[in-house]
Structure 1
Amino acid sequence: MNKVFLLISVLLLSGCQSAVQSDEYQSMTPKIDVYNFFDGRVHAWGIVQNRNGELVQRFKVDINGSVDGDGRLVLDERFNYGYGDGVKHRVWTISKSGNGYIGSAPDIATTAMGTIYGNALRWQYEMDLPVDDTTYRVVFDDWMWAFDNCSLMNRSYIKKFGFVVAEVTIFMKNMDSKRGCTGGLH
């Protein structure tokens, strides 16, 4: 009985932790700058895997970013799915806040909170996610890492009751030729 209780306790505690630790990114460069990276055209592509690692979505995203008159970053995202289905269009409005950012979008249930850790950004929010005929409130725990001023990688952990139920991997490329962002990684 004690072994079963111990095993359940360990599983519950490990399910509540993020798979990524923030402190190790504080001194890494280049420092992530969300406003700079997303200003202009960004092309992204990625996959969604369920908790068993099976592919459930493959997609591309065209993002047009601009700073509005109030100093907010507006990201207009258009999704195209090669496998699976999901949201077709989302518009994020993001503002600077202390050592990070806050953001919102019409289909996001809570205010998104972002904290900068050197070359990484942790972006967290809740979303009502439709799956078949049911909608589930899930937590997104996104980690973005800057490779350079043109390339970014995002790893999202989708959680329900503190357990990871799916993972999203996205690669993003700023397409601004003025800063030399054409072709592959720099």
Structure 2
Amino acid sequence: MFRYFGFKAQKPQDYVNGGPEFDIRTHLNGPLICEGVLYGPTGRVTSRFVADMYGTWDGNKGHLVENFHFDSGTKQKREWFLTSKNDGTFDAEAPDVIGTGEGVQMGSAIKLNYRIKLADAAGGHELETTDWMYLLDNGTLVNRSQMRKFGIKVAELVATIRRADA
């Protein structure tokens, strides 16, 4: 059933036509601001956050630093190491990601799948994560992520990402 409806039914090919062309080397580059919310398993907002982000690229190798500030006062830093390939796919690694995330950019969207290990303070769970980012005409990115454990959705994130100098 999930193959045909909802979040899991999306495919990168759905975003080939229409909208601007998403290139992670362009759109995840320089100073960025991210604002969003996290939803728990009941669908209620459990946390709000703002993040200062900064991306740099040297050819096909990227480094994205995210500094999160949560409404609880908690701060978190994540560093992504990205490798863009010539076929539209990319790899993503971070210290709290188990193995290597696999992404694809196609048309106005990207999809990234990875397994994340939460901090011990957050339970230390390992979650299967799917990130979708959609590029809007004005350059803003809309990020929607779902995290699952044993196939059951336990959290969802919705955020916008925009250039800090815009």
TM-score relative to the length of structure 2: 0.87
Q: Distance in 2 between matches of 1:33 and 1:109?
A: 25
Segments of structure 2 that go 5 or more residues without pairing to the other structure are none
Q: Distance in 2 between matches of 1:127 and 1:57?
A: 18
Matches within 5 A, 1:141-156: 141-148=130-137, 150-156=139-145
* Residue in 1 that maps onto 2:39: 49
Query: CA 1:53–1:88 in 2, change beyond 3 Å: closer, same or farther?
Result: same
Query: CA 1:131–1:29 in 2, change beyond 3 Å: closer, same or farther?
Result: same
Equivalent of 1:120 in 84, 87, 109: 109
Where 1:135 maps in the other structure, the secondary structure is coil
**Number of residue pairs matched by the alignment:** 162
- C-alpha RMSD of matched pairs (Å): 2.2
Query: CA 1:20–1:170 in 2, change beyond 3 Å: closer, same or farther?
Result: farther
Q: Deviations over 1:29-75 (max 9, x none)?
A: 2011111012110000101001211111110110111113x641111
Moved over 2 A (4+): 17-20, 130-134
Matches within 5 A, 1:62-141: 62-68=52-58, 71-83=60-72, 85=74, 88-97=76-85, 98-130=87-119, 132=121, 134-141=123-130
Q: Contact 1:153–1:171 at 8 Å: present in 2 too?
A: yes
User: Going by fraction, where is strand more abundant, 1 or 2?
Assistant: 2
Q: Deviations over 1:134-160 (max 9, x none)?
A: 321111101000003621000001011
- 1:24 CA displacement: 2.4
Where 1:19 maps in the other structure, the secondary structure is helix
Q: Distance in 1 between matches of 2:37 and 2:108?
A: 23
Query: CA 1:133–1:118 in 2, change beyond 3 Å: closer, same or farther?
Result: closer
- 1:162 CA displacement: 1.4
